[in-house]
Amino acid sequence: MSHQLTIMVYHFLIDIYLGADLANLVNEAALHAARVKHTNVKTEDLEYAIERVIAGPEKKTNVLSPNEKKVVAYHESGHAIVGWMLKHTDALLKVLKDC
């Protein structure tokens, strides 16, 4: 793991993940790095791992209708806005425009 990534893990993730959760996150990053044939764990591998641990694996099927996607988008944007505005919540990691 690079020095920059190590510092990022200690300063940001240690506040959110402890013990087994942190080990699971770093393990997921290492697995992703191996899948994409990186020689060491990079920041992008850690970002992938954070998304996978928090949101679960990417869904490949489009089972929602366009209207259902719109409703879900409004619902999730509400979470993002409230989380952004509240003082004592976890940092907003990523907002995607695609459903």
Catalytic residues: 76
Report which of 51, 54, 49 is spatially closest to residue 1, judged by C-alpha positions: 49
Residue where the block lists tokens 């990534």: 5
How crowded is residue 26: how many other Cβ atoms within 10 Å of its Cβ? 19
Q: Are 42 and 33 in contact (CB under 8 A)?
A: yes
Tell me which amino acid residue 83 is.
G
From residue 70, give the alpha-carbon distance in Å to each of 30, 46, 59, 75, 81: 35, 30, 17, 9, 16
